[in-house]
């Protein structure tokens, strides 16, 4: 299966650099693809025009295959009363920096499900791979993208999601464990979360679905890549491992926390964006998410508030409200150029037998 996937994707190593909205860049994706892995860009938070420009930039830097990732969450519904209550809850935090909360919140980016222009763009640009996070798009879009020769990936966090992905005719399942940094790709955050660690999720899916599985969550080195293969993965998708690469757009504070590592830990919380996501714990987690907080606005409307609060704080030189997504093993990230990191991982993977 592993060799089939490598030839299907036309890549040398079963190493996928995770799409990371706000952190991965065309330069990062191209460096990974040039080194024999599969680079990814995340266009979930930008419009079709910006996605077109990002794809063109990758293509200027590589002629190797790469992945374009979109967010397929249920489109947000605005609820002005809920949003006003949330802003009120945040008011004392803004006040620390002599600021007022914004007058209102907005849906800061659109779901792929409501973005026909992005669908048309993907059909025209035909990247080698398109990946979906947070659910499945309409069947007609899946069929059209496949007919255009694009290999389709979708994230699953449970057996139920994996079965639905397979039934929809997707090519590859990204099995995302609870250790993973960033947003949990669960289809419906209102449903109970089995919260399975990556290798347990692989074991659960292995006998029940026949699609190739890509392991995501907590994988930082070649030995862990081998372990993922042992548990049935055909490839791995690594996010946190690539944040510290010079080609990422991670801000200096995020890099400093990774370098520090010691004494820091991650948690999953929905209070930052409106959907569960894992990041390095700071006041966003501990205070905004304190017990008794009001109901959250829809994803990503909630995120607008966190970004405004971070802007107010950082304008006064305070980073207590910065968003630093990362998996449980984030501190093992190596600040190597991405091509060198891929070569190192491949060498470790082969020697760890």
Ligand X SMILES: Cc1cc2nc3c(=O)[nH]c(=O)nc-3n(C[C@H](O)[C@H](O)[C@H](O)COP(=O)(O)O)c2cc1C
Please pick, from the candidates 5, 11, 15, 18, the single residue that binds ligand X as defined by CB under 6 A. 18
Q: In this chain, which stretch among 81-89, 181-189, 285-293, 305-313 interacts with ligand X, using CB under 6 A?
A: 181-189
Please pick, from the candidates 179, 247, 298, 304, the single residue that binds ligand X as defined by CB under 6 A. 179
Enter the tokens of residue 203: 């074991």
- Does position 235 interact with ligand X (CB under 6 A)? The reply is no
Query: Closest separation between CB of residue 96 and ligand X, Å?
Result: 26
Contact by Cβ (8 Å): 135, 106: no
Please pick, from the candidates 9, 13, 19, 48, the single residue that binds ligand X as defined by CB under 6 A. 19
Burial 156-178 (b: 16+ CB within 10 A, else e): bbbbebbebbbebebbbbbbbbb
- Does position 196 interact with ligand X (CB under 6 A)? The reply is no
Contact by Cβ (8 Å): 244, 220: no
Closer by beta carbon to ligand X, 23 or else 284: 23
Query: Closest separation between CB of residue 227 and ligand X, Å?
Result: 14
Please pick, from the candidates 5, 6, 38, 42, the single residue that binds ligand X as defined by CB under 6 A. 42
Rounded to 5 degrees, φ, ψ at 58 are -60, -45
- Does position 327 interact with ligand X (CB under 6 A)? The reply is yes
Rounded to 5 degrees, φ, ψ at 15 are -125, 115
Q: What is the 3-class SS of 272-336, one letter each residue?
A: CCCCCEEEECCHHHHHHCCCCCCCCCCCCHHHHHHHHHHHHHHCCCCCCCCCCECCCCHHHCCCC
- Does position 222 interact with ligand X (CB under 6 A)? The reply is no
Closer by beta carbon to ligand X, 111 or else 176: 176
CA distances from 134 to 14, 219, 250, 275 (A): 23, 21, 23, 10
Please pick, from the candidates 219, 257, 301, 331, the single residue that binds ligand X as defined by CB under 6 A. 219
Query: Closest separation between CB of residue 122 and ligand X, Å?
Result: 15
- Tell which residue, 200, 131, 214, has the closest CA to residue 159: 200
Binding interface with ligand X (CB under 6 A): 18-21, 23, 42, 44, 69, 133, 155, 176, 179-183, 216-219, 237-241, 243, 325-327, 329
């Amino acid at each position: 299966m592993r060799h089939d996937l490598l030839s299907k994707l036309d890549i040398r190593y079963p190493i996928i650099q995770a799409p990371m909205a706000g952190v991965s860049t065309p330069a990062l994706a191209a460096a990974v693809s040039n080194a024999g892995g599969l680079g990814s860009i995340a266009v979930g938070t930008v419009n079709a025009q910006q996605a077109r420009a990002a794809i063109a930039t990758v293509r200027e830097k590589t002629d190797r295959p790469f992945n374009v990732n979109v967010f397929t969450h249920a489109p947000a519904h605005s609820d002005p009363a809920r949003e006003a209550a949330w802003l009120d809850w945040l008011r004392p935090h803004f006040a620390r920096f002599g600021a007022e909360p914004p007058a209102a919140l907005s849906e800061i980016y659109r779901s792929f499900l409501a973005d026909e222009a992005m669908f048309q763009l993907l059909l025209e640009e035909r990247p080698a791979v398109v990946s979906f996070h947070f659910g499945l798009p309409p069947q007609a879009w899946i069929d059209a993208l496949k007919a255009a020769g694009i290999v389709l990936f979708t994230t699953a966090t449970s057996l139920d999601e994996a079965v639905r992905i397979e039934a929809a005719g997707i090519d590859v399942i990204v099995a995302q464990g609870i250790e993973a940094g960033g947003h949990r790709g669960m289809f419906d955050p209102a449903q109970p979360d089995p919260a399975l660690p990556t290798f347990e999720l692989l074991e659960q899916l292995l006998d029940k679905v026949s699609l190739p599985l890509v392991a995501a969550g907590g994988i930082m080195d070649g030995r862990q890549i081998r372990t993922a293969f042992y548990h049935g993965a055909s490839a791995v998708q690594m996010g946190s491992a690539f944040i510290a690469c010079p080609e990422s757009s991670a801000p200096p504070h995020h890099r400093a926390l990774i370098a520090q590592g010691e004494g820091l830990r991650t948690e999953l919380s929905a209070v930052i964006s409106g959907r569960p996501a894992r990041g390095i714990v700071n006041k966003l987690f501990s205070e905004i998410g304190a017990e008794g907080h009001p109901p959250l606005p829809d994803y990503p409307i909630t995120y607008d508030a966190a970004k405004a609060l971070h802007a107010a704080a950082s304008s006064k030189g305070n980073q207590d409200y910065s968003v630093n997504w990362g998996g449980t093993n984030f501190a093992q990230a190596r600040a190597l150029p991405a091509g060198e990191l891929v070569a190192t991982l491949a060498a470790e993977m082969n020697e760890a037998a």
